[in-house]
């Protein structure tokens, strides 16, 4: 038995990464969209981790109350939610405060140089 996933790898990828990950990404985006801090998203991922464990249990005969696999699923969901939260926060900060900040990557922004010409 593998230490990361309990069921087969395709089932783990489909349930945890694709289904749970897309819900985590959207949750992170929604929480960042309302300017709430990331720790709120992390709290919601605790519940989503339990839902993902239930789907593993109900559809693929995985264990329901295994702390190890719950923690693995939840850590992955928290990481994906963090990416969604950070991407949305970077985009919204650069858009809403465009005179002050510019987006430097999908996840970061920086203060515009003082007295310089604005970046496109």
Q: Where are the domains of the chain?
A: 9-109
pLDDT in tens, the chain (120 residues): 566 667 788 898 999 999 999 999 999 999 999 999 999 999 999 999 999 999 999 998 888 888 989 999 999 999 999 999 999 999 998 888 888 888 888 888 888 887 655 555
Q: What is the pLDDT of residue 115?
A: 60
* CA distance readout (Å), 9 to 34, 80, 81: 35, 18, 22
How far apart (Å, rounded) are the C-alpha atoms in residues 52 and 2?
18
What pLDDT, on a 0 to 100 scale, did the predictor assign at position 86?
94
Q: What is the per-residue pLDDT for 97?
A: 85
CB atoms within 10 A of CB 108: 13
């Amino acid at each position: 038995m593998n230490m990361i996933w309990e069921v087969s790898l395709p089932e783990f990828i489909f349930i945890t990464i694709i289904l749970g990950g897309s819900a985590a990404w959207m949750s992170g985006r929604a929480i960042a969209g309302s300017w709430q801090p990331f720790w709120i998203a992390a709290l919601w991922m605790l519940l989503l981790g339990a839902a993902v464990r239930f789907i593993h249990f109900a559809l693929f005969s995985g264990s329901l109350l295994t702390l190890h696999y719950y923690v693995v699923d939840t850590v992955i969901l928290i990481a994906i939610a963090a990416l969604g939260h950070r991407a949305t926060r970077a985009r919204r900060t650069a858009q809403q405060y465009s005179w002050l900040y510019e987006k430097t990557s999908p996840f970061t922004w920086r203060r515009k140089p003082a007295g310089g010409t604005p970046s496109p």
